[in-house]
Structure 1
Amino acid sequence: MNLRTFLKYVEIQTKVASMIPLALGTLYALYRFDSFRLENFLFMLLSLLSFDMATTAINNYYDFKKAARTHGYGYETHNAIVRYKVKERTAVTVIVVLLVLAAGGGLLLVSQTGLLVFLLGGLSFLIGILYSFGPIPISRMPLGELFSGLFMGFVIIFISAYIHADGELASLALSGPWTDLSVRLDIRLTEVLALFGFSVPAVLGIANIMLANNICDVEEDIDNRRYTLPVYIGKAHALRLFAALYYLSYLDLIVLLLLGVHPLLVLAALLTVIPLRRNIAAFRARPEKAATFILSVRNFVLLCGARIALMLAAVLLETL
């Protein structure tokens, strides 16, 4: 497998969906808690990127193995295993290597941070695997948007902030012998809720990438017995939900104001609604994988990229 085929197999262009939450959580910790740990950041980057690529590869491999219809809908071109004639053994080997890298980076991060990262990271690994694998993968159910949004949009941001925050968000400790083990979990609820509010654009933006993908594939999903949310609620209702989630994402601006971010910076983030509305209209008019699906990714980058720029500016202003 050459580099080009590998990048297509793991759909490298979609990795922005995990790298942006990593950046958001890191900048949040830098602004809110004035803390940044380079070693922790690098370990999480390795683990997160490797696992994101692995789950995409698993999804493509599972679709390749389970496809009931192998002609039409662009199957011959959009599945990298078919398009580049990748050997099944090679496809599986890539998945295993990526999972080993992800687990290794995660364990190194846990060694620096503690048990809570192990539990949250382990749960994220489990959901990521079940998303594409198992008797009934999450991606083939009407829960894909919920799980992808919450775990990639909030849990990643939480961990990305937590690894720098020195207990400012939560702490988990074990004490006593194994026969009488005591577990103590402390959560700073106000801080966690503030972080969740800050994460709203990432949560809803990632959910909408999944929703847009399922809207584009609704006919194919019916043929392949993938009972996604648009299959259940219908394409028209799914398109209305697609638009509504984007507008709800601006609720985080209230949280930014409460955190003390300068109002002019917050107002600048609000201006992203102008190009966002154009992209929503274009997708609703022609919801097709080849033509307009990319608009959901652009909207996510637009929403969260504006927040990254905003937080960078806020950090610089605080420093000055």
Structure 2
Amino acid sequence: MTTHSQPVASSFKTFWNLLRPHTLTASFIPVSIGSILALIDGNFHLGLFLAMLIASLLIQAATNMFNEYYDYKRGLDNENSIGIGGAIVRDGVAPKTILNLALLFFGIATLLGIYICYESSWWIALIGTICMFAAYLYTGGPVPIAYTPFGELVAGFFMGEVIIGISYYIHTGTVPAHVLLIAIPSSITIGLLLTANNIRDLDNDKENGRKTLVILLGKSNSIVFLGSMFTIAYALIVIYVILGIISPFTLISLISIPLAFKAVKGFIGKTEPIQMMPAFVYTAKTNTIMGFLIIIGLLIGHIFS
């Protein structure tokens, strides 16, 4: 019994790590925020919410797999790489298997997208195609977006503004300005996931010819950038409450500020990637906890409105 269960458990762990589950909240939270905002404005369709959520998770998981595949192809991953990636070099998963699985996820997401379009608008097909193309080009293609100074901007825009906007639109048929404003803090913290990742991998990225924002800014300035953008994200929430754009209950998201502080502090004075892993984890936790608290605050505000 033990000899059979261990390989199964090992295979599951490999597959689970391949999805990079700690990053998937960057899809769950924007879809939920957009849908809850639609609910607050009097429109919500459970089937569309679930289809959008699953499709977004699949596209992000596929993006992670493309990242795994192309990092291997370009020689960026090795047995000593820090992080959850490395299923090819550490776990012996065939590169073609990862690529095919990513394409399968894209295929399923496309089918879900057809349902979403049928129930809402066929304009979503164009936007969804652009999103999937951007997801592929993020680490695929001749000049991967993730290897340029625009990685944070593209990741934050598509996974924050665009996903929240689409998630609202499929329920309501419109995207008012306040939805795009509310999307900005989440867009920022999603983009900062890449900043934290690139601070950790700075030396390796330099050696492999990447031109990320972190490389252009330098480590010290990148840490300042990380802290400044966290500050802006939280300040926007306070400003939105003061202006009456969102419920005062969303101020509970400020509880996550200590996590952001630990993320920034965790990079200071560290030189080895393994030493900076806790800081990256705190960055991911900040995005997750802040997002969940915004969702809870919006729901409480809706209930008591």
TM-score w.r.t. length of structure 1: 0.85
**Cα deviation, residue 35, structure 1:** 1.3
Asked if 1:61 is matched to 2:72, the reply is no
- Structure 2, unpaired ranges of 5+: 1-7
Partner of 1:268: 252
- Structure 1 counterpart of 2:243, which letter? L
Partner of 1:254: 239
Partner of 1:122: 129
Contact preservation (8 Å) 1:199, 1:252: no
Cα distance change of structure 1 residues 215 and 68 upon mapping to structure 2, 3 Å threshold: closer
Asked if 1:39 is matched to 2:50, the reply is no
Distance in 1 of aligned mates of 2:153 and 2:263: 22
Distance in 1 of aligned mates of 2:77 and 2:112: 38
- Structure 1 counterpart of 2:190, which letter? I
Distance in 2 of aligned mates of 1:145 and 1:302: 20
**What are the superposed Cα offsets for residues 166-224 of structure 1, whole Å, 9 maximum, x if unpaired?**
x342xxxxxxxxxxxxxxxxxxxxx22x1122112111101110100011101000111
Distance in 2 of aligned mates of 1:278 and 1:50: 30
Partner of 2:266: 282
- Structure 1, unpaired ranges of 5+: 170-190
Contact preservation (8 Å) 2:78, 2:86: no
**What are the superposed Cα offsets for residues 94-128 of structure 1, whole Å, 9 maximum, x if unpaired?**
12211111111112111111133122212111111
Alignment counterpart, residue 296 of structure 2, candidates 280, 285, 309: 309
Greater radius of gyration (CA): 1
- Structure 2 counterpart of 1:252, which letter? I
Cα distance change of structure 1 residues 271 and 15 upon mapping to structure 2, 3 Å threshold: closer
Partner of 2:38: 29
Distance in 1 of aligned mates of 2:181 and 2:59: 26
Partner of 2:199: 215
Q: 1:83 aligns to what SS in structure 2? A: coil
- Structure 2 counterpart of 1:148, which letter? A
Contact preservation (8 Å) 1:69, 1:224: no
- Structure 2 counterpart of 1:229, which letter? L
Aligned-residue identity in percent: 28
Partner of 2:29: 20
Q: 2:43 aligns to what SS in structure 1? A: coil
Contact preservation (8 Å) 1:106, 1:121: yes
Contact preservation (8 Å) 1:54, 1:95: yes
**Cα deviation, residue 140, structure 1:** 0.7
Distance in 1 of aligned mates of 2:174 and 2:216: 41
Cα distance change of structure 1 residues 221 and 275 upon mapping to structure 2, 3 Å threshold: closer
- Structure 2 counterpart of 1:254, which letter? I
**What are the superposed Cα offsets for residues 132-160 of structure 1, whole Å, 9 maximum, x if unpaired?**
10000001111000000111011000011
Partner of 1:11: 20
Partner of 2:219: 235
Distance in 2 of aligned mates of 1:271 and 1:89: 43
Partner of 1:199: 183
For this pair of structures, how many residues does the alignment match? 292
**Cα deviation, residue 279, structure 1:** 3.5
**Cα deviation, residue 10, structure 1:** 1.9
Taking only aligned residues, the RMSD between alpha carbons, in angstroms, comes to 2.1
